[in-house]
Amino acid sequence: MESASSKSVTNQPTPDKASNGTVSNSPLRPYTSSSGFTYPAIWSFPPFFTLQPNPQTFAHQLTLWTRLILSWAKYHRVFRIDAGAADGGDCREVLENKSIGRRLLPTSIRQLVSSMEKEGLLSPDPPRQPNTFLIYWRKPEEWGSMIYDWVIENGMGGSIMTFYEITDGDMAHTTEFHQLPPVLLRRSLETLVKRGKAQIVKGEAEGVKFF
């Protein structure tokens, strides 16, 4: 009987493939901000700022948000997000779309943050508290190998460098890890120590010796 068949079936509409940041047949357009970052079209879609009750939609919405925050933070070199603040702290720009008057509400921000933490893309700093997080748009391992490569390339292997020299030294201006937060730097170097490629030296100013 036809009557019994239709209820249990949940068929999601097939998503339209679109590569240029827009959705087909939609009047929504990507938005490029004054800083040069291009927000995707979905950022101008009001329901995007309401976490959806439909579980499938919700999961997809979270991955979109995660992706958006990481790329936005990377573009703007933002390392922290504050779930305790109503507007998300350093990330307030991406969490609110003033042109359509929508923002991710604090409860939604918490949901998003906890989901990102589960994926290892955020790490609480200081540890074991639910509010302020480091954003790992690059993982500490990546930062560590990047620093190590840079040190070896510049012939400083075997010598001792201070933390300040790595992130703010004369040679660091051109690197990606310029002005990396010290906490993140320490976590990155600790991954190198684990791999046996560096040793942290304690002194007046903390230093690190690369092998």
Partner 1 sequence: MSVSFRSFVHPLEIPRQDATVQELLDVEAGEQWIYGQHGVGLYEGNSKLPNHQILSVQLTTHRILLLATSPPPPTASTSSNPSDPPALSSNLQVSLSDIRQTEYYMGFIRSSAKITLFLGENPDIWGDRDRGTNGNGANSGTSTNTHSNGTAAASKEDSTWTCNVCGYSNPTPTSLARSNTLAHQTPRCGLCGVVKDLVKAPSSSRPSTPTIGVTPSPTPKVITTPRSDSPRTTNHPENNVGGEGFEIPCPRCTFLNRPELKRCEVCSGILVPRGATTLVPDNKIDGIIRTDSPVPTLPLPAPIPQTTAKTGGHQNEMATLRISFRKGGEKEVYKRLRTVLSAKAWERVRTRGRGGGGQGGSAGDAGLGGGGEAAVRSGFGIDGILQNISLENKAQQGNVEDAFKDLEALMVRAGEMVKLVQTLNTKLTQQQANSSTGANGTGNGQAEDEATQTFLRSSLVQLGLPAPAITSDMVADERKYLEGLAKELGGLLTGKTGGREDDGLMVGKNGKGLVGMDEAWGIWNRARGVSLVSPSDFQKAIPLLATHTRPKVELMTFPSGLSVLHTPFYHPKIFSNRLASQLTPTDSDEVEKAMSTVEIALTEGLSVGLAKELVHLVESQFGQVVRDEQAQEQGGGERWYRNLINDTQMCDI
Instruction: Work out which of 32, 33, 57, 159 binds partner 1, going by CB under 8 A.
Output: 57
Is 33 an interacting residue with respect to partner 1 (CB under 8 A)? no
Give the number of residues written for the chain.
211
Is 162 an interacting residue with respect to partner 1 (CB under 8 A)? no
- With a CB cutoff of 8 Å and minimum separation 6, the contacts of 128 are none
Specify the 3-state DSSP secondary structure of 16. Answer: coil
Is 48 an interacting residue with respect to partner 1 (CB under 8 A)? yes
- Restricting to residues 90-129, which ones interact with partner 1 according to CB under 8 A? 101-103, 105
Short-list 172, 133, 136, CA closest to 154: 172
CB nearer to partner 1: pick between 53 and 126: 53
80-82 and 122-124 beta bridge pairing: unpaired
CB nearer to partner 1: pick between 42 and 180: 42
Candidates 67-75, 111-119, 152-160, 173-181; binding stretch for partner 1 (CB under 8 A)? 67-75
Q: Terminal CA-to-CA distance of the chain, rounded, Å?
A: 74
Q: How far lies 79's CA from each of 24, 107, 165, 176, 182, in Å?
A: 34, 21, 20, 13, 11
Candidates 24-32, 114-122, 143-151, 178-186; binding stretch for partner 1 (CB under 8 A)? 24-32
List interacting residues with partner 1 (CB under 8 A): 1, 3, 6-7, 9-13, 15-28, 40-42, 45-50, 52-54, 56-57, 60-61, 63-64, 67-68, 71, 101-103, 105
